[in-house]
Amino acid sequence: MFVTIKCEELDEFTGMNEIDTLNQSILRGGDKFWVFYSFNPPKSKNAWVNYEATNPRPDKIVHTSCYLDVPQNWLGPQFLIEAETCKIQNYKKYLHEFIGKAIGTGGNVFENVEEKTITDEMINGFKTIRHGIDFGFAVDAFAYVQGAYDGKYNDLYLFDEVYQIKLTNELAAKKIKPKLMRYEYSVIMADSAEPKSIVTLRNLGLNVYGAKKGPDSVNYGMKWLQSLNHIYIDRRKCPNTYKEFVNYEYERNKDDEFISAYPDKNNHTIDACRYAFINDMPVRNKNNFW
């Protein structure tokens, strides 16, 4: 049996969990299924539909189209006049409303993130591999990130992670150790606010040290990450790292306007990166940083 399902206005759903629940009820008993999702991309690059559209799956085909792809007589002269007027007067609005581009809300903290397949050959070519940990448990995820900094081109490469809620230090150590086997010696920089967890991981055989925090160290580390030419993330190996970096936006005030402040949520891999690459940042004051 051949089954076809089509979901219009996908962006009106609350998220992928709602779609998954729907599919689990419908995609039963058939020999072959075609599932079509259609939507006009929201402005925000971080909208869940924009993210899922590029989320890799071997059985997915993504097609994009706009008014330029159909015969003009389908649209009528007035539509074309409106489109051209908008193109001249407000090009960003034109890109979003007529071309269907996710132009962003203007609140993205990191505009330098790019998805990139990072091969073993590339990893073997890096001089130094960095490791970072941000602790979490009940609500916040435990996050371990592995990557390398290319100082010549001012680029960051992120290519491995551990990311899990309610992950004990013992289980975290078991997950991290296999990721260190290819390296002769690995130092892991972690949040110094949890000395007990650092000692536990050291007793479990990991070379973990607390990243020393100086005044305004969060802001300094964030500015350094923003100053990089590229933050390359292997999305298949680091799905949570990629999601956090591309979704991270500035705080909003009571009027829903962006302000120059970093929200302390959904930033666990970002914090792990700040700790991991603390020795690659220009040192303002050696007493402030590890």
Dihedral angle of Cα 130, 265, 249, 41, to the nearest 10 degrees = 100
List the alpha helices (DSSP H) in the chain.
Answer: 16-26, 48-53, 77-89, 91-94, 120-124, 169-180, 195-203, 217-227, 239-247, 268-276
Nearest to 211 by CA among 197, 191, 229: 191
- Cross-strand partners of 133: 144, 190
What tokens does 240 get? 């949570």
- Indicate which residues carry an active-site annotation: 9
How buried is 139 (Cβ within 10 angstroms: 0-12 exposed, 13-18 middle, 19+ buried)? exposed
Reduced to 3 states, what is the DSSP secondary structure of residue 231? strand
What tokens does 62 get? 């993504």
Backbone angles phi, psi at 222, to 5 degrees: -65, -40
Calpha distance 95→258 (Å, rounded): 22
